[in-house]
Amino acid sequence: MTGQHRIVVLGAGYAGLAAARRLARTSRDTTITVVDSRAEFVERVRLHQEAAGQRIKRWELRKLLERKGAEFVQARISGLDPVTKQVHLEELAGSPEGAGHRPSNIGEWSLAYDTLVYALGSAADRSGAPGVAEYARSVATPEDVRALPEGRVIVVGSGSTGIELAAELAESQRYSAVTLLGADEPGAWLSARAVESIRATLTRLGVEIRSSAKVVEVLPTGVRLADGTVVEAESVVWTAGFTVPDLARRAGLAVDEHGRIRTDATLRSISHPNIYAAGDAALMAGPGDRPLRMACATAIPTGGYVARAIVARAEGVEPEPMTFSYHLQCLSLGRRDAVIQVLNADDTPGARVIRGRTGALVKELIVRGAGMTVGLR
């Protein structure tokens, strides 16, 4: 690269940190700036633990990134102009004056880039049913999570997040009843052995499992099902679906119906080649031409790949298309149990399942390894 090439990374989650760390280590003649509205990084894969009252560690993003050689700007991203290559930012209450590129005493400003990495992640989809936004909680982002009050808890959604949360809440023994409601059997996308293990552990922990249950409304005191049944609880946690920011759509980038940036084989925007996308907010082809799923296991390697692609092109080399395969899917079932599903190359469940305390150890090692990859440890 000639001169100081400006690389801006939007989002300091797993994908953004993975990209920024590799860029800082391998790119030359560049400035790397990471923008996020949060001052701290929290391991998203541990948020269900915090919801159950456990304390989880936080890392100050400015210190974390500066020691890697990247700058950090804490601000709200209000707009993106891909024509002028500007990111429009707004000051957040309490953010330090003059932080990063922000001029002092300026409430709104812009940040110019030559190359942009879009890694804004996802949040809970609160449009799934009436009352979700008003009465339900979520564990999708650090801002969502607060320790739930004691009493009866309904967890809506029998996917990975719902399963992990229900198990954690039940194991904590702070709640008089935990009910898991979902349209499918918990873990239905996994092997029969994994499904059996999940159900057995949840049952042992005292979780009431209600499959084929469609929630049509969240009430101040519980939920209403499609058959008219009202299930009462002190707290409702909604884990049935995620959404991505609409920034890319508003900016005129090519996106899918959910707002994820459409990418080519090297994770560049198909409409704006100086913009790369990784993690939950990107639509990326995976095994069997199916989109890669939203997961930490997707975010970290795709963030790292984006950095390699940027550096390769800067050096005049066309990067090889991204190749990606999943190996495991890990679900914690409290602090002493887990299910580790070994996967086939096409992301379908294989025959092998690791369970129990061994599974819990494997899950913890994988979570710690993810933290090391993005520079937390």
Question: What proportion of the chain, given as a percentage, has pLDDT over 70?
Answer: 96
* pLDDT of 340 over the 90 cut: yes
How is the beta sheet containing 86-90 ordered, strand by strand? 76-81, 86-90, 108-112
Least confident range from 6-20, 136-150, 295-309, 339-353: namely 136-150
Which element (helix H / strand E) includes 196?
Answer: helix 192-205
Tokens 């090889």, residue located: 320
Encoding tokens for residue 339? 């299910």
pLDDT digits (tens, 9 = 90+) for 229-238: 999 999 999 9
| pLDDT of 96 over the 60 cut | no
Flag whether pLDDT at 100 surpasses 70.
no
For tokens 């096409």, the residue is: 346
Q: Rounded distance, CA 99 to CA 173, Å?
A: 43
pLDDT-derived band at 106, boundaries 50, 70, 90:
low
Give the per-residue pLDDT at 149.
84
Q: What integer is the mean pLDDT of 266-274? A: 98
Helix (H, G, I), strand (E, B) or coil at 162: helix
Q: How confident is the model at residue 147 (pLDDT cuts 50, 70, 90)?
A: confident
> What is the C-alpha separation between 334 and 165, in angstroms, rounded?
8
Rounded CA separation 327/128 (Å):
31
Confidence band, pLDDT 50/70/90 cuts, at residue 1: very low
Asked if the model's pLDDT at residue 261 lies above 70, the reply is yes
- pLDDT at position 148, please? 84
- Report, as an integer, the average pLDDT of 336-363: 95
pLDDT band per the 50, 70, 90 thresholds, residue 94 = low
**What's the pLDDT at 290?**
86
pLDDT of 101 higher than 70: no
User: What is the arithmetic mean of pLDDT over 296-305?
Assistant: 96
Give the tens place of pLDDT for each residue, 166-217: 999 999 988 889 999 999 999 999 999 999 999 999 999 999 999 999 999 9
pLDDT band at 125 (very low <50, low <70, confident <90, very high): very high
